[in-house]
Amino acid sequence: MAECLHSGRFSLTILCLKPVVITERVRYAETDQMGVAYHGAYPAWFEIGRTAYCRQKGVVYAELERQGWALVVVELKAAYKRPLRYDDTFEVHTTVAQASPRGLTFGYRIVRDGVLCTEGTTRHLFVAMDTFKPASAPAEVVKKLAG
């Protein structure tokens, strides 16, 4: 179910979607000296979840780039609630929280054994690959990702 908000000339769709869920495991290289997952590993796990989300929705990122579009990260937020440790198995739950022809906001929840460990968002802007300037994405791409 989607709710549309309008504010002046800006329109934003807030989406409520079932998340795409993938399972990962904390690798030794992703931990600090104490065996706790290093905070820098989380953006990579967000990207793994985002890529799985896009594929499941029928948008292969490499194909999007071949068509001349890129989806660049312009903001990343993460709130660390509980630590992950070496060899923990966890799930990355990914949704689209906001969508417009100019960009998307993905939402993430990292969960271990049913317990929320981290939640975050990444905000993305569509750009044309030839100029790297902001551009509106093809409507069918936004529709697939938003639904």
Give the catalytic positions in this structure. Answer: 32
Nearest to 105 by CA among 42, 11, 10, 14: 14
**Per-residue tokens: 94:** 């990914």
Rounded Cα distance, 130 and 24, in Å:
35
H or E stretch at 18? none
The partner residues of 71 in beta bridges, in order of sequence, read 126
H or E stretch at 129? none
**Per-residue tokens: 105:** 């906001």
Q: Find how far residue 2's CA is from the centre of its chain.
A: 18
Rounded Cα distance, 19 and 85, in Å:
24
